[in-house]
Structure 1
Amino acid sequence: MTETRLYIVRHGKTMFNTLGRAQGWCDSPLTTLGREGIRELGQGFAVDGLTFDEAFSSDSGRTLETLAIVLKELGQESLPHTADRRIREWCFGSLEGLYDEELFHGVLPRTSVVGLDKKLTNLTYQEIAEALVEADTAGWAEPWEVLRDRIWQGFVSIAERLETRGGGNGLVVCHGMTIATLLWLIDPWWEKMMIDNGSVTVLSYEKGHFSIEQVADLSYRYKGREALANERK
């Protein structure tokens, strides 16, 4: 059996990312620079001779757009693809679209969970989730247990699917806080890890156990950028 490995990509930079707005279950398209960054990523995979046996993404438009660009650069447009809502970003409920500064330094510190005496950098993911639930007037934000379980079950399901089919490389496109939460669930040392747009986190999987190989790696983009620059000469 071939080793099972997940190459988990954070989607390309979007309009909301550029504007500094919270973007969970709401969506915005990739910018021109965002699309170019994902072209670099796809080219970087190609430079390393990396191909994939199956592709997965959340059902958000920005991940679907990212995936399509990567597969085009690899010449793997016909690769089987599954869109899984379980690996969506966190849901911010009625707080979707707020400026990050307003959300994290204005709204959340006024909740009983956080309070003005706590620094956000010291909060656990569970505390942030509980604060979002308290602040969300629509009642759409997910309780920590629901959020935690859907992310974990989504990735385990993807890994088990590949493993059952004999292993191989799975390309997974999803979201920054989703990836960071998964890493924390595997090893709490990784809490609050910054996941850049177009970065790659690599996990291996065997019989129910994830191993972390790379986190938020941008080297594929750098290789792809160089390849594209040489192509333009």
Structure 2
Amino acid sequence: MTETKGPIEIYLVRHGETWFNKLDRVQGWCGTPLTPKGFAVAEAIGRAFASAGIDFRAAYCGDMLRHHETMATLLRAMGSSLEPISRFGLREMSFGAWEGMPNNLMWEAAYRVLGVSSTQEALGKGFTLIDIFDVFSRTNPDTDYPSDNVRQAADRALSTLDEIADDEAGPGAAPRILVVSSGVTIACILHRLGAELRTPVHNGGVSRLLRDDDRAWTVLGHDDVSWAERGGWQG
């Protein structure tokens, strides 16, 4: 029988804008640093967290440069002394040989498989963003470079969040944990937990998850970009 843990709240943040984001290229397991905008948005979110009096017990992030830069900037802006803990399971979905290519090539390949010409048309025909994401691995142009499907990305990330919750939860009020990950991985998590997404998760978007005493997850809110605005970002 699994030991009962107390509740825990996760603030799940997508990393700030990167060089590949700005160039509109597929990123995945490729690593590029934050742009000046990416650093500024992360700093603004950190200021907003501090102004709101949010106290985090621990800070976890994916194991790539953009995750570390975002987390370090957030914590510094908060005046926090927490040291970020890296987790492989929080990195982005792998897009295989699509990585580094223009995003439109990967998306157009997925559209052809689904018989549509745009995301809007796909949504109008009853597909979801997750359906589109799941086609990316099927259209991987070179399988020598392995890619993830949605199930693999969600399983990896949620398993990691459960491990974090098990390590950090305890009796009493739910501690808050700060987590930085990537957009498609966050979307896969949110979808698995029942949230409906009609647009990709934004850079700097903040989602809030609660795991209760019975280890069940609930989405309290997703892709909230107002934190950066509250922290003084004027995009």
TM-score, length-normalised on structure 1? 0.85
- In structure 2, do the counterparts of structure 1 residues 175 and 183 end up closer, same or farther at CA, with 3 Å as the change threshold? same
- Equivalent pairs counted in the alignment come to 221
For structure 1, which runs of at least 5 residues remain unmatched after alignment? 229-233
**Alpha-carbon distance in structure 2 between the residues aligned to 1:183 and 1:48:** 24
- Among the aligned pairs, what percent are the same residue? 28
CA pair 186-193 structure 1, distance change in 2 beyond 3 A:
farther
Is the 1:55–1:171 contact (alpha carbons within 8 Å) kept by the matching residues of 2?
Answer: yes
Residue in structure 1 matched with residue 16 of structure 2 by the alignment: 12
1:84 aligns with 2:87: yes
Residue type of the partner of 1:108? Answer: A
Measured in 1, the distance between the counterparts of 2:18 and 2:31 equals 9
Equivalence map 1:28-39=2 (5 Å): 28-39=32-43
Distance 1:144 1:198, change over 3 A: closer
Q: Which residue of 2 aligns with 1:162?
A: 168
1:142-181 equivalences under 5 Å are 142-164=148-170, 167-181=174-188
Q: Is the 8 A contact 2:136 2:149 kept in 1?
A: no
1-side partners of 2:14 and 2:153: how far apart?
Answer: 18
The 5 A counterparts of 1:20-59 are 20-59=24-63
Structure 2 unaligned residues grouped into runs of 5+? none
RMSD: 2.4
SS in 1 for 2:185: helix
- Measure the CA separation in 1 of the matches of 2:44 and 2:231: 4
Letter aligned with residue 88 of structure 1: R
Match of 2:137 among 126, 132, 155: 132
For 1:97-136, list aligned pairs within 5 A: 97-105=100-108, 107-109=109-111, 114=113, 116-117=115-116, 120=119, 121-122=122-123, 123-124=127-128, 125=130, 128-136=133-141
* Whole-Å separation in 1 of the counterparts to 2:145 and 2:136: 12
Q: How does 1:182-197 map to 2 (within 5 A)?
A: 182-187=189-194, 189-197=195-203
Bigger share in helix: 1
What secondary structure sits across from 2:232 in the alignment?
Answer: helix
Greater displacement, 63-72 / 141-150? 141-150
- Call closer, same or farther: CA 1:81–1:117 in 2, change over 3 Å: closer
Q: Structure 1 residues 3, 152: closer, same or farther in 2, change over 3 A?
A: closer
Distance 1:22 1:109 in 2: 16
How far the C-alpha of 1:179 sits from its partner, in A, is 0.8
Amino acid of the residue matched to residue 181 of structure 1? Answer: C
Which of 71, 75, 84 matches 2:75? Answer: 71
Inter-partner Cα distance in structure 1 for 2:138 and 2:207: 28
